[in-house]
């Protein structure tokens, strides 16, 4: 009796699946909490206790509850994804060093070497911006050299470390400027752009490790680097990096919950859009018809043009250059689609990442919308007033609710899902920025 052994051909997709079965699954598994988790929890509790003892005068009753509630949440997140623990410990050490160097004198930011060039909030955020841009370049070079892709991951982690440290130090800097100026740094366009870049990058790093692939880094870092470009332009042309007093409506503990939840939604929606872009590149990797690629090229160029559309004082050389470079990048990706497609994970995996990112984003965006309604009732006496920001938040919510409904009920997959996710970035971008540019209202805290 003869036996027949069936083997699969060594296609890139099969090789990727083999690699995932050897490394990716084990990376995604979470063991039982061990002694390191207990130590990490105790460190978090000690840090919270120190903050309650040292800075209790700057916190109200609700903020103290939020601080205590943050301890088990961060401990759980550290167990869920172990690299996050190392990041939190490193950022805590760096921010603590910066606070020691400051003492109670904000002027030391220009006098102490490590503050001036590394750990002051603006220095750290500039480092974050530079590292994200370098990481994006390395990820794209990684399609030709695996070593460069590894460097892209290292630089992305470095950028996240610098950005988180910068936000923590900025929080303290506000209190050093005056008792009425200190607040969590998520109150204006400058600060939330930093938050957006960090959240998007962190979620990408999680999926990079879970699925054991760095091929998506260049795609996701495109949107992160775009945010960095806007952040730098906004900072240097509007002096937006300066810490400003909060407007009365923002002097609320609700802000500490609503804004981060909202930007987890924005970040994951953006990540899903770029994964959708990668999906379409993978799908059309072998096509020779530019007619089939035309919708993808047009949509990509529209995303590059979006910041120019948001300008209300005419076109500037900066944004015309940005649009030109962006259009060239989109064209170059499509020209090199065959090599890029061969390195990308299988379509099923890309579809799964896209779905997971939108599902997580939708959950947090729903929570943020509910929290925003409660905050509005507390600040203005009404849960919903059809303010432009509220209206566009509802449009974003309905867009992704429809996407999820079509997937779960109608089995939406593939090309349509990817194009929809990519188009969703246009809608999300307008809700994030466009409303502030064109539609004045109660939420107009980030006008240019």
Identify the CA nearest to 71 among candidates 53, 52, 58.
52
Residue 447 in this model has a pLDDT that exceeds 90: no
Q: Once rounded to an integer, what is the mean pLDDT over residues 315-326? A: 80
Does pLDDT of 122 surpass 90? yes
DSSP per residue over 269-295, as a string? HHHHHHHHHHHHHHHTTT---HHHHHH
Q: If residue 317 lies in a helix (H) or strand (E), which one and from where to where?
A: helix 317-335
**pLDDT surpassing 50 at residue 159:** yes
- pLDDT band for position 315 (50/70/90)? low
Quick: pLDDT tens for 105-118: 999 999 999 999 99
Residues 57-62, mean pLDDT to the nearest whole number: 82
Residue pLDDT, tens place only, 178-198 = 877 788 899 888 999 999 999
Domain boundaries, the chain: 34-79, 94-245, 259-447
Lowest mean pLDDT among 65-79, 83-97, 123-137, 319-333: 319-333
Sign of CA pseudo-dihedral 171, 174, 176, 180: negative
Note the pLDDT tens digit of each residue in 370-403: 999 998 888 778 888 888 888 899 999 999 999 9
Residue 433 DSSP one-character state: I
pLDDT band at 367 (very low <50, low <70, confident <90, very high): very high
Q: What is the pLDDT of residues 195-242, one digit of tens each?
A: 999 999 999 999 999 999 999 999 999 999 999 998 998 888 888 888
pLDDT reading at 293 higher than 70? yes
Higher pLDDT, 247 or 172: 172
pLDDT(306) > 70: no
Whether 354 has a pLDDT exceeding 50, the answer reads yes
Distance CA 29, CA 81 (A): 9
| Secondary structure (3-state) at 383 | coil
Between CA 19 and CA 65 the distance in angstroms is 45
pLDDT for the residue numbered 119: 94
pLDDT score for 90: 97
How many Å apart are CA 420 and CA 426, to the nearest integer? 10
The CB density around residue 295, as the number of other CB atoms within 10 Å, is 13
> Taking the model in full, what pTM does it have?
0.90
Q: Is the pLDDT of residue 3 over 50?
A: no
Contacts within 8 Å (CB) and 24+ apart, 171-180:
172/95, 172/98, 172/99, 172/102, 173/102, 173/106, 173/109, 173/120, 173/121, 173/243, 174/243, 175/55, 175/58, 176/102, 176/104, 176/105, 176/106, 177/106, 177/243, 179/58, 180/245
End-to-end CA, the chain: 79
């Amino acid at each position: 009796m003869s036996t027949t052994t069936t083997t699969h051909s060594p296609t890139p997709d099969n090789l990727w699946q083999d690699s995932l079965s050897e490394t990716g699954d084990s990376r995604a598994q979470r063991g039982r909490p061990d002694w390191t988790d207990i130590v990490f929890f105790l460190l978090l509790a000690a840090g919270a206790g120190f903050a309650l003892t040292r800075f209790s005068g700057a916190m109200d009753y609700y903020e103290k509850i939020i601080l205590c509630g943050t301890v088990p949440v961060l401990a759980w997140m550290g167990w869920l994804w172990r690299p996050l623990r190392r990041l939190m410990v490193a950022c805590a050490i760096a921010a603590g060093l910066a606070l020691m160097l400051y003492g109670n004198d904000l002027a030391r930011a220009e006098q102490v070497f490590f503050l001036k060039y590394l750990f002051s909030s603006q220095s750290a955020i500039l480092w974050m911006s530079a590292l994200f841009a370098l990481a994006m370049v390395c990820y794209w070079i990684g399609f030709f050299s695996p070593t460069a892709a590894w460097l892209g991951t290292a630089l992305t982690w470095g950028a996240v470390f610098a950005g988180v440290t910068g936000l923590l130090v900025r929080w303290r800097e506000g209190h050093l400027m005056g008792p009425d100026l200190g607040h969590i740094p998520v109150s204006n366009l400058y600060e939330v752009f930093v938050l957006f870049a960090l959240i998007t990058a962190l979620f990408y790093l999680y999926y990079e490790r879970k699925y054991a692939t760095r091929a998506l880094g260049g795609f996701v870092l495109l949107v992160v680097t775009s945010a960095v470009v806007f952040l730098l332009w906004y900072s240097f042309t509007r002096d937006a990096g300066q810490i400003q007093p909060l407007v009365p409506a923002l002097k609320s503990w609700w802000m500490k919950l609503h804004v981060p939840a909202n930007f987890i939604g924005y970040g994951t929606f953006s990540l899903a859009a770029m994964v959708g872009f990668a999906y379409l590149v993978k799908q059309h990797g072998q096509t020779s018809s530019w007619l089939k690629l035309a919708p993808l090229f047009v949509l990509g160029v529209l995303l590059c043009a979006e910041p120019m559309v948001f300008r209300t004082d005419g076109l500037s050389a900066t944004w015309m250059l940005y649009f030109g470079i962006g259009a060239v990048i989109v064209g170059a990706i499509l020209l090199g689609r065959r090599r890029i497609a061969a390195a990308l994970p299988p379509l099923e995996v890309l579809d799964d990442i896209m779905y997971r990112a939108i599902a997580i984003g939708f959950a947090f965006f729903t929570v943020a919308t509910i929290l925003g309604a409660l905050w509005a009732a507390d600040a203005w006496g009404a849960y919903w007033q059809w303010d432009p920001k509220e209206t566009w938040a509802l449009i974003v919510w309905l867009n992704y609710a429809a996407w999820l409904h079509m997937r779960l009920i109608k089995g939406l997959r593939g090309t349509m899902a990817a194009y929809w996710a990519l188009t969703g970035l246009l809608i999300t971008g307008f809700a994030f920025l466009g409303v502030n540019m064109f539609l004045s209202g109660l939420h107009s805290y980030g006008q240019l």
